[in-house]
Structure 1
Amino acid sequence: MTSTTSSPAAPPAVGGVQTVRRFITYALLAATVIIAASGLSGLLDRLFTLNRIEVSYDNYGLATSLASALVAGPLAALLWWLIWRDGTMARDRASILWPVYLVVMSTAALLVFTIALLSWLADTIRYGWNPAGLAVGIVWALVWGWHYWMWQHPAKGPTRLQGAAPALASLIGLTYGAGGLISALAQLIDAAADAGSRSVVVSDPLWQIVAQSLVWAIGGALLWRWHWVRLGVRNQTFGFSTVLLVFITGIASLAVFAFGLIILLSILLELATGLQQPIASLLDPLGTAIAGAVVGALVFTYHSRIVAERSAGVRAATSLSTAGVSLAFAASGFGVTINALLATSSDPLLAGNIRSLLLAGLSALVVGGVLWWLTWRPREASLPERVATPGRRVFLVIIFGLSALVALITLLVIGFQLFAFLLDGGSGESFIERSRQALGLLTATGLVATYHFMIWRKDRASDVDIEPVHRIGRVTLVSSGTNVELLEAVRAATGARVTVLQRAEPVTREPDVAAVVAALDGVEAAHVLVVAGAKGKVAVIPLVS
């Protein structure tokens, strides 16, 4: 890993009244920028559609756009000039509010302009020229480019949350790309299924529908690649990028994959047990199921390779996330299965709705159970190396706590249904029929809570050191620049929260990463000041908390 060093920064931002001033200024800037962008997009839309009769006589709309652009626009420019001055930036650059403003506005502008432009392109393919979305897309693309330029400015860009905005943008691009690809594949699969079941030729407009989805897929892929590869989100091993990697790999992609498999398996079970509904209705979600499973598997496989190159903490967090998502599907399937079986007290099992409910529950139970077995590996759950997994105790407590909360809510629902049944016995509906959904959910959560509580008890009784001992609570590091490698090394060696203070003037021959980590060996304190000095010297000063 190569270290990245930024230019010397100003002293940290001062709080108090300065924080209030920044909050108000940035909030006003955001409001005026949004209003001005709305007015400019309205004026540009009129410029593109001068021949529309309804536009020509819409004086109220024209007045609104003119007021928004000509009043809010200059105010936004004035506020930006007050913020962007060298003196102001010298005080505000290290403030958390400056990057928060840029993250919020750049992400909002990115969402607005990409949705507007991609929707305009997709609609143009199918319905012809309509510049309504184009005007919004152009204006908000300029707003996004402006904030992107401020974010990347070498002297006035933020010194905190440096990877947040690109990481969010890469997630947005991946969502567009995966969603568009799923939609395109689903349309093709559904068309093929319809042609096979009805013996008809797919109609010509299919290419337009597929092309619309491909617009989103290609646009999202370009957006994702620009931020993921070009801006280096893939190589970031700190902050929001790590959380994003765990979320995509351990939660989002696996959930899409599992959901697609569940729908596909339920369709196959319906076919195997005999049709009780039209084939067209049964096969309606087939394309989405297959496409979701394929795309989810591709995204999961790609990001799993990146996770394998990361630290033990990232790998453990991803593994525990996959186990949690798989467990959620399995528990939901078990609850739905119990619900369907309880429904047989009043209706026959082979009734259409009950059978479909039972098959859907069994599908979720099978898919979620298999994935949980592969990710959690219950036979090896109590091995010492598994017990020592980072974050395992937190995971067990979270699962047990959530299960107990759901069980409490379902108990309240069951109690309500019991008293309602006793007070309204003439309704003709049995108590089981009233509360079968809650009873199924209570059974599932009870089993989940019991199992994880037993695992937690075994972990506590073992002599394996589950949680690492942190002898330092907080580290304040003084250096000439933001060395990402040094920051990660100190955080990994101490487990402490690390704050970086940058010198106003750099020093020559700062100590390397190994020297700083070695200087912290054996130090015990709630707060430690580390000064990376000249000629490779390191000063470690324990502070009174």
Structure 2
Amino acid sequence: MSETTTRPAATPAPGGVQTVRRVITYLLLLTMVIIAAIGLSGLLERLLSVGNTMLNTDNYGLAQSLAFTLVAGPLAALLWWLIWRESAIARDRASVAWPVYLMVASTIALLTFTIALFTWVANIITGDADLSGLAVPLVWALVWVWHYWMWRHPSKGPSRLVGVTPAIASLIGLTFAIGGLTLALSALINSALAGVGAIAVAGSPVWQPILQSLVWAVGGGAIWWWHWFRVGVRNHTTGFSHVLLVYIAGFASFALFASGVTRTLATTLTLLAGASEPLTARFDEYGIAVSTAAFGALTLIYHARVVAAHGPALSSASRLVSAGVSLAVAATGVGVTVNALLATISEPLIDYSIRSLLLGGLSALLVGGALWWVIWAPRSASAANRVATPGRRVYLVVIFGVSALVALITLLVIGFQLFSFILDNSSGESFLERSRQALGLLVATVLVAAYHFVVWRRDMASGVTHEPRRTIERVTLVAAHGDELAQAIRTSTGARVTVLRRADAGPGEANADAVVAALDGIEAAHVLVIATPGIEVIHLAE
């Protein structure tokens, strides 16, 4: 169950000189808070390390910590008091500057205190930690709690971009958790493959990297759980939360999975082909490869379900991003494979480095190509329902445009290498040896650009509408809260929505379905919607 905080409506923040004043004030406050926290951390570190003679005789460091604390600290307190007053916050809480400041300060504090804390706890396992290491995490944890309290304040917290800060925090926690689990499993696999008998002995050094990685996994998991479930990031319907979901499910977790599978296949093929390195050295690569694929798959499966619960539009966007990632892996495989094949002209294939390069390219081509085939399904790519997929036209144009741009840059590189070879051949390298990397990349990008250009031309010739036609360009919504209503209007009409919040509670607010039904069939450039139980829709002149 997620936390909910009822916040009264706030009138739009005045702009002009007030915007300049807010930007300067919040920038100064952020600077003073960071400097004061650094100074206080230095003083606390000295207090916790009384027996450290070297630290306690560092007068220069002590002077800096005192200056940072006693100068920046009071200035930060003064600036905060000026901002936090009822008269000031009443104007600023509806501005973008207030949530942006909280987002930046909270993110910096969260990263600083968690990295320092997890590092200190991990060092306890190896016996390298002392109390002075707690100075930084304690101070920055207080800074983070302070800003978390301000963000959650029912009457002074921001009324705009309220979901951005917790969404970023959940992403940070997820990154730490998956990274820690991946490294822990990697160390466990490597130890098992190496046949380390001490793995079953408690206190054996082989457990140290595993336990240290688990510290990051547990800590990151706690941060992610709190923001994802308690704060309710998973249920947010804001645009930023949707972008976050698409990034995690469509890009990050899918890329982890694809890279892990590719590396596992490449290592296996290298072993089967016969490696010049010792067998244990090749086995070491299995740990990170398998663990990356495993936790990338788990993260992908979980977030794919969350994305599916948010509707078909988000699922479609996630699949298109995943198709782009798999296409990039396959194109990389093509480029590396061409590069390796060109290298065999001057070097025999039995050369270990060339053989390893070739197998790596083939692995990327096989894995990326298989994933792309499953996700994109090229046999039915021109079906009417596929052509009408939201965001498909943008995807095709982006892929074609990026591929064409890379191909042009690669041509310039090849041209440079050609003229450089003609004008100066003192290195003894052939033109093919100089430009084989660029030639491999050129082949891959030309193939990608050509295919997607053909698909785009077919889509244009099919006559199927790629995107829903916008019947309303702009909507100005007057409501007591309005966030849920605005999202419903954007989803149903594709219009740009501006929310004007009522200063009073009003007679009540219509539900989202009623507002969408009231806008059905309306064609106008600009519409005013007053979301009371009676719903009034007014066409505005431009």
Structure 2-normalised TM-score?
0.97
1:466 aligns with 2:466: yes
Inter-partner Cα distance in structure 2 for 1:288 and 1:33: 39
Aligned with 1:542 (options 518, 521, 539): 539
Alignment of 1:50-199 (within 5 A): 50-195=50-195
Letter in 2 for 1:221: G
The corresponding residue for 1:528 is 527
Is residue 161–residue 239 contact of structure 1 (8 Å, CA) maintained in 2? Answer: no
Inter-partner Cα distance in structure 2 for 1:526 and 1:127: 68
The corresponding residue for 2:353 is 353
The corresponding residue for 2:207 is 207
1:511 aligns with 2:529: no
Letter in 2 for 1:490: I
The corresponding residue for 1:432 is 432
Unaligned 5+ segments in structure 1 are none
Inter-partner Cα distance in structure 2 for 1:2 and 1:68: 39
The corresponding residue for 1:248 is 248
Aligned to 2:194, the other structure's residue is in SS state helix
Inter-partner Cα distance in structure 2 for 1:93 and 1:267: 55
Inter-partner Cα distance in structure 1 for 2:268 and 2:314: 37
The corresponding residue for 1:343 is 343
Inter-partner Cα distance in structure 1 for 2:160 and 2:390: 27
Aligned to 2:498, the other structure's residue is in SS state strand
Tell me by how many angstroms 1:200 deviates.
Answer: 8.2
The corresponding residue for 1:291 is 291
Select between 497-506 and 381-390 the one with higher mean Cα deviation: 497-506
Is residue 3–residue 483 contact of structure 1 (8 Å, CA) maintained in 2? Answer: no
Inter-partner Cα distance in structure 2 for 1:2 and 1:497: 29
Tell me by how many angstroms 1:514 deviates.
Answer: 2.7
Inter-partner Cα distance in structure 1 for 2:62 and 2:427: 60
- Deviations along 1:478-504, one digit per CA (max 9) or x if unpaired, are 1112352x2222111211122221111
RMSD of aligned alpha carbons: 1.8
- Deviations along 1:154-184, one digit per CA (max 9) or x if unpaired, are 1111111111011000000000000000000
Letter in 1 for 2:263: I
Select between 229-238 and 213-222 the one with higher mean Cα deviation: 229-238
Is residue 120–residue 131 contact of structure 1 (8 Å, CA) maintained in 2? Answer: no
Letter in 2 for 1:319: R
Inter-partner Cα distance in structure 2 for 1:470 and 1:462: 20
Is residue 176–residue 216 contact of structure 1 (8 Å, CA) maintained in 2? Answer: yes
Is residue 5–residue 154 contact of structure 2 (8 Å, CA) maintained in 1? Answer: no
Is residue 89–residue 156 contact of structure 2 (8 Å, CA) maintained in 1? Answer: yes
Tell me by how many angstroms 1:427 deviates.
Answer: 2.8
Select between 118-127 and 271-280 the one with higher mean Cα deviation: 271-280
Select between 31-40 and 276-285 the one with higher mean Cα deviation: 276-285
Letter in 1 for 2:517: A
Tell me by how many angstroms 1:206 deviates.
Answer: 1.2
Inter-partner Cα distance in structure 2 for 1:519 and 1:4: 29
Inter-partner Cα distance in structure 2 for 1:346 and 1:2: 63
Inter-partner Cα distance in structure 2 for 1:398 and 1:74: 50
Are residues 388 and 24 of structure 1, via their aligned partners in 2, closer, same or farther at CA, if it must alter by over 3 Å? Answer: same
Aligned to 2:284, the other structure's residue is in SS state coil
Inter-partner Cα distance in structure 2 for 1:434 and 1:170: 46
Inter-partner Cα distance in structure 2 for 1:162 and 1:511: 22
The corresponding residue for 2:323 is 323
Inter-partner Cα distance in structure 1 for 2:200 and 2:332: 37
Are residues 178 and 7 of structure 1, via their aligned partners in 2, closer, same or farther at CA, if it must alter by over 3 Å? Answer: closer
Inter-partner Cα distance in structure 1 for 2:227 and 2:30: 24
- Deviations along 1:188-224, one digit per CA (max 9) or x if unpaired, are 111111117xx88788211121110000000011110
Inter-partner Cα distance in structure 2 for 1:23 and 1:304: 38
Inter-partner Cα distance in structure 1 for 2:198 and 2:108: 45
Is residue 43–residue 62 contact of structure 2 (8 Å, CA) maintained in 1? Answer: yes
How many equivalent pairs are there? 540
Letter in 2 for 1:506: A
Runs of 4+ with deviation above 6 angstroms: 1-5, 199-203
- Deviations along 1:120-139, one digit per CA (max 9) or x if unpaired, are 10011112432343110000
Tell me by how many angstroms 1:528 deviates.
Answer: 1.6
Is residue 9–residue 502 contact of structure 1 (8 Å, CA) maintained in 2? Answer: yes
Structure 1-normalised TM-score?
0.96
Letter in 1 for 2:293: A
- Deviations along 1:438-461, one digit per CA (max 9) or x if unpaired, are 000000000000000000000000
Q: Percent identity?
A: 61
Tell me by how many angstroms 1:315 deviates.
Answer: 0.7
Is residue 39–residue 67 contact of structure 2 (8 Å, CA) maintained in 1? Answer: yes
The corresponding residue for 1:35 is 35
Are residues 276 and 396 of structure 1, via their aligned partners in 2, closer, same or farther at CA, if it must alter by over 3 Å? Answer: same
Aligned to 2:538, the other structure's residue is in SS state strand
Are residues 409 and 46 of structure 1, via their aligned partners in 2, closer, same or farther at CA, if it must alter by over 3 Å? Answer: same
Is residue 312–residue 390 contact of structure 1 (8 Å, CA) maintained in 2? Answer: no
Tell me by how many angstroms 1:425 deviates.
Answer: 2.8
Is residue 471–residue 493 contact of structure 2 (8 Å, CA) maintained in 1? Answer: yes
Is residue 5–residue 483 contact of structure 1 (8 Å, CA) maintained in 2? Answer: no
Inter-partner Cα distance in structure 1 for 2:448 and 2:235: 37
The corresponding residue for 2:496 is 497
Aligned to 1:293, the other structure's residue is in SS state helix
Tell me by how many angstroms 1:3 deviates.
Answer: 13
Letter in 2 for 1:528: V
Inter-partner Cα distance in structure 2 for 1:137 and 1:220: 15
Select between 301-310 and 349-358 the one with higher mean Cα deviation: 301-310
Inter-partner Cα distance in structure 1 for 2:379 and 2:59: 73
Is residue 489–residue 497 contact of structure 2 (8 Å, CA) maintained in 1? Answer: yes
Tell me by how many angstroms 1:313 deviates.
Answer: 1.3
Aligned to 1:467, the other structure's residue is in SS state coil
Letter in 2 for 1:312: P
Is residue 334–residue 362 contact of structure 1 (8 Å, CA) maintained in 2? Answer: yes
Unaligned 5+ segments in structure 2 are none
Is residue 490–residue 496 contact of structure 2 (8 Å, CA) maintained in 1? Answer: yes
Tell me by how many angstroms 1:349 deviates.
Answer: 1.2
Are residues 210 and 3 of structure 1, via their aligned partners in 2, closer, same or farther at CA, if it must alter by over 3 Å? Answer: closer
Are residues 133 and 2 of structure 1, via their aligned partners in 2, closer, same or farther at CA, if it must alter by over 3 Å? Answer: closer
Tell me by how many angstroms 1:4 deviates.
Answer: 7.7
